[in-house]
Amino acid sequence: MRLGVDIGGTKIAVGLVTLDGGIRRRACAPAPAAQGPRAVVRVAAELAHGPAAGGRARAAGAGPQRRARVPRG
């Protein structure tokens, strides 16, 4: 089993995926983008450690759909 994490602009989704691509469990939550990147990572981590993960994942992957613009300064 693998844990997939989808970090989007409006929601964050996680899914426990079998080796053949079947989704066993999934969960999602609104992305707190207005609260900054730390808040987004916190929600992603909470979902990844929650019931959707089921404690069975042997590997995990995460990434945004496209490159995010991060303000400097």
Residue 39 has what DSSP assignment?
A: H
Question: Tens digits of per-residue pLDDT, 1-44?
Answer: 888 888 888 999 988 888 888 888 899 999 999 999 999 989 99
Q: Where are the domains of the chain?
A: 2-57
CB 44 within 8 A of CB 12: yes
For domain 2-57, the CATH superfamily is: ATPase, nucleotide binding domain (3.30.420.40)
Q: For position 16, what pLDDT does the model report?
A: 87
Higher pLDDT, 1 or 47: 47
First to last CA, the chain: 40
